[in-house]
């Protein structure tokens, strides 16, 4: 059986950015695949660009990583020249510029999120091709197809930080349940005027959907009825 192990590493994935009353929450799963083989089940798809701006990466792992590396370098130079933190809009436009100018070579869908003192919390989506869209919430990756109806019903303006974090974790877990290219753990990054908070949600702590089985210590626990153990 050909597992396509020579295929490029792909983060066919689920990435999410949500604004709330005071900042933004970014979230992502952790599965990286090579063909049908899971190359990494715990990859970190939320990359720091500056102290106040982060990037969610989907598509080709190599492409999205090199874009984030270049943007981080240019932002570092920008901060040194200005003597103050870069805004979220500046970071998003650098991501857009690199994605658009190299659109024939890159396979990367990106979400830029952060907080600055001028505009507060902002989310920008930069899909394949280099378009830039400012949105109150945005979804990316293969798992996003299953989430648009859910977000139309669940997202609302003026959410609290806890409500936004709960929404992101619930949405990523739903995508993991439906999308074979999404899986692993859920990572979230919350950015506001107080700084940055990272959280890790292990697979066995995520809400279950549809006919998913409860996590077990071993396969025997799943196969054996409780009264025979």
1 occurs within a structural domain? no
Instruction: Give a yes or no: residue 30 inside a domain.
Output: yes
In a domain, 86, yes or no: yes
Structural domain includes residue 5? no
Catalytic site positions: 13
Q: 35 in a domain, yes or no?
A: yes
Residue 65 to residues 29, 49, 59, 215, Cα–Cα distance (Å) = 16, 11, 10, 32
- The three-state secondary structure class of 66 is helix
Answer whether residue 2 is part of any domain. Answer: no
The CATH number assigned to the domain holding 215 equals: 3.60.20.10
Nearest to 173 by CA among 8, 5, 3, 14: 14
Decide: helix, strand or coil at residue 212: coil
Collapsing DSSP states into helix, strand and coil, what is residue 97? helix
3 domain-assigned: no
Q: Which pair of structure tokens corresponds to residue 4?
A: 């396509």
- The residue range of the domain holding 113 is 10-228
Give pLDDT tens digits for 80-97: 999 999 999 999 999 999
Please state the pTM of the whole predicted model.
0.86
CB 143 within 8 A of CB 179: yes
3-state secondary structure 1-46: CCCCCCCCCEECCCEEEEEECCEEEEEECCCEEECCEEEECCCCCE
Distance CA 131, CA 109 (A): 10
Q: Are 110 and 97 in contact (CB under 8 A)?
A: no
Q: What would the pLDDT profile of 139-175 be if each residue is shown by its tens digit?
A: 999 999 999 999 999 999 999 999 999 999 999 999 9
Residue 15 lies in a domain: yes
Considering its fold, how many domains does the chain have in total?
Answer: 1
* Residue pLDDT, tens place only, 185-224: 999 999 999 999 999 999 888 877 766 666 666 656 656 6
């Amino acid at each position: 059986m050909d597992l396509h192990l020579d295929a490029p590493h792909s983060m066919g994935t689920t990435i999410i950015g949500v604004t709330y009353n005071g900042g933004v929450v970014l979230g992502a799963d952790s599965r990286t695949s090579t063909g049908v083989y899971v190359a990494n089940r715990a990859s970190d798809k939320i990359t720091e660009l500056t102290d106040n701006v982060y990037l969610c990466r989907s598509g080709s792992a190599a492409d999205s990583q090199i874009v984030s590396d270049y943007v981080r370098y240019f932002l570092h130079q920008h901060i040194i020249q200005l003597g103050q933190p870069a805004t979220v809009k500046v970071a998003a436009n650098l991501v857009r510029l690199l994605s658009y100018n190299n659109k024939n070579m890159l396979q990367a869908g990106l979400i830029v999120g952060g907080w600055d003192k001028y505009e507060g919390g902002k989310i920008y989506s930069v899909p394949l091709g280099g378009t830039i869209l400012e949105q109150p919430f945005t979804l990316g990756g293969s798992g996003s197809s299953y989430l648009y109806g859910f977000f139309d019903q669940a997202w609302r303006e003026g959410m609290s930080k806890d409500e936004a974090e709960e929404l992101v974790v619930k949405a990523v877990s739903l995508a993991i349940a439906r999308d074979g290219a999404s899986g692993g753990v859920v990572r979230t990054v919350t950015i506001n005027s107080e700084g940055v908070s990272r959280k890790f949600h292990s697979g066995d702590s995520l809400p279950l959907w549809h006919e998913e089985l409860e996590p077990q210590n071993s396969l025997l626990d799943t196969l054996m009825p409780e009264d025979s153990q």
